[in-house]
Amino acid sequence: MARLVRFRVLDGVGVITLDAEPVNILSAPLRAGLWEAFSRIDANPDIKAAVLLASGRMFSAGADIREFAKPVQQPSLAQLCDRIESCTKPVVAAFHGLALGGGAELLLAAHYRLASPDAKIGLPEVMMGLVPGGGGTQRLPRLIGAQRALQMMISTVAVDASVAHRSQLVDGIVQGDLASGAIAFALNLIEHGSGPRRTRDNRSHLMDGRGFSAAISKARTALKDNPLHAPRRVLDCVEASGLLPFDAGLAFEADAFEHCLAHPQSIALRHVFMAERKIDTALIERDGTAFRPVDPMGKSTVRRLRKAMRAAADHLVESGVSADDVDGAMVAYGFRKGPFGGTGDETRNDTIARRLVAALLVEGSACVAENAVQRPSDIDALAVHGLGFPRRAGGPMRAMQSVGLIGVRKDLRVWGEDSTIWAAPDLLDQAIKDARGFDALG
């Protein structure tokens, strides 16, 4: 196995480099390599400071989300961040490109931070239905205050180096070679006898209790109508950072992370993220951060799904349900508009939503059976990007799996007596045979 962390000593400075290109994902082996390197630095009296760098086009894209479905391998990200922060020698983290999620949390755990002019730092975990899990909700407010910390974590927007410098999130911007600048910074710390500067001990932004409470209250009001679960948990964690001792705040964050990890929204959001990366480029193409169905294969599948949803909606109207109620139910479910093009009164109606989403499952299963797509998750990605299916629900296949496939099959057998729109597909029976459901089918 390739070595994921490089270590060398220059003039009494231990230089640690993440070397897991292309994006330095913080996998279990990489975390173990970092732990070993920091242990060597602490144990060697000839090393007076440490510098943390990364190779490749960015510092780190963060955690490997594929590991979230497995038992945590130690050291966890939170343990690693604590290890870095507790280092007895001053730790200088210098980053270029993007430092996202867990990558950003490594920086927050370091004692000093430097950035290249092109660098950006962000904590976008709520996009996956999660809160930061490496102490980010506790360290970031200590460095830039509750209001800015909440804005970064809830908006998911990465801030560039100049903004980070102005807010004192980073100590300086290095013009020229980043490694040389970071080592020179570390040598200067050694020369002046500057020791560790631990973020956990910084309460300068938490001393104004009234201002802190006002920031929490303002954010809570702004989130009142937000349908996502994770932003509220981020808010709770940031509030805890100002009310609890640091270690208790970390424990609060860890509990929030575990609750988010098990929440249906996070499962769905992570599912769509992986579906976007598995789907054939003949079905969906990526344009920057956006995904679009491709003509003819992707768009033809989207048309089939839209036609199936409209047929199910028409059937309900013929049965006495108003078109406004159908539209309103689907908007309340998370669509921007209903199958008839309106928004109705946006009243949640689980029965209507369940029947229309079930119709999408039936048509999506037909697409899989006919090899119009390769796997059920392709249908989810196409529904999200072609139909406007709510991302937080994961697409029709994932959404129905979340509510229980056995119950869905029971409903289809009843509804199928009225119309073939809801004829239970063979693919559903196959999915029910495996605990992984549709995930087991590709």
Average the pLDDT over each of 72-76, 105-109, 313-317 and give the range with the smallest value: 72-76
Same domain for 407 and 312, yes or no, is: yes
Same domain for 250 and 281, yes or no, is: no
CA distance 108 to 134: 9
The pair of structure tokens assigned to 150 is: 């909440």
pTM over 0.85: yes
Same domain for 248 and 374, yes or no, is: no
> Over the chain, what is the mean pLDDT?
97
Same domain for 147 and 175, yes or no, is: yes
CATH number of domain containing 132 = 3.90.226.10
Domain boundary among 206, 234, 262: 262
Question: Given 85, 105, 239, 253, which residue is catalytic?
Answer: 105
CA distance 355 to 351: 6
Q: Is the pLDDT of residue 338 over 90?
A: yes
Q: Is residue 125 flagged as an active site residue? A: yes
Assess contact for 386 and 302: CB atoms under 8 A.
Answer: yes
pLDDT tens figures, 254-292: 999 999 999 999 999 999 999 999 999 999 999 888 999
Question: What per-residue confidence (pLDDT) applies to 178?
Answer: 98
Domain boundary among 214, 230, 262: 262
Model confidence at 208, in pLDDT bands (50, 70, 90)?
Answer: very high
Domain count for the chain, please give it: 2
Assess contact for 379 and 252: CB atoms under 8 A.
Answer: no
Same domain for 249 and 283, yes or no, is: no
CATH number of domain containing 368 = 1.10.1040.50
Same domain for 394 and 416, yes or no, is: yes
Question: Given 21, 85, 125, 258, which residue is catalytic?
Answer: 125
Q: Is the pLDDT of residue 1 over 80?
A: no
Picking from 171, 168, 178, 30, the residue whose alpha carbon sits closest to that of residue 97 is 178
Question: What per-residue confidence (pLDDT) applies to 442?
Answer: 80
Identify the domain containing residue 207 by its residue range: 5-262
Question: What per-residue confidence (pLDDT) applies to 69?
Answer: 82
Domain boundary among 262, 277, 294: 262
Model confidence at 72, in pLDDT bands (50, 70, 90)?
Answer: confident
| Strand, coil or helix: 95 | strand
Same domain for 202 and 107, yes or no, is: yes
CA distance 169 to 397: 42
Question: What per-residue confidence (pLDDT) applies to 2?
Answer: 62
Same domain for 289 and 242, yes or no, is: no
> Mean pLDDT throughout 151-162?
97
pLDDT tens figures, 101-135: 999 999 999 999 999 999 999 999 999 999 999 99
The strand pair at 120-122 and 98-100 is best described as parallel
pLDDT tens figures, 82-92: 999 999 999 99
SS (H, E, C) 200-251: HHCCCCCCCHHHHHHHHHHHHHHCCCCCCCHHHHHHHHHHHHHHCCHHHHHH
Same domain for 312 and 330, yes or no, is: yes
Q: Is residue 318 flagged as an active site residue? A: no
Picking from 402, 340, 397, 395, the residue whose alpha carbon sits closest to that of residue 366 is 397
H or E element, residue 190: helix 178-191
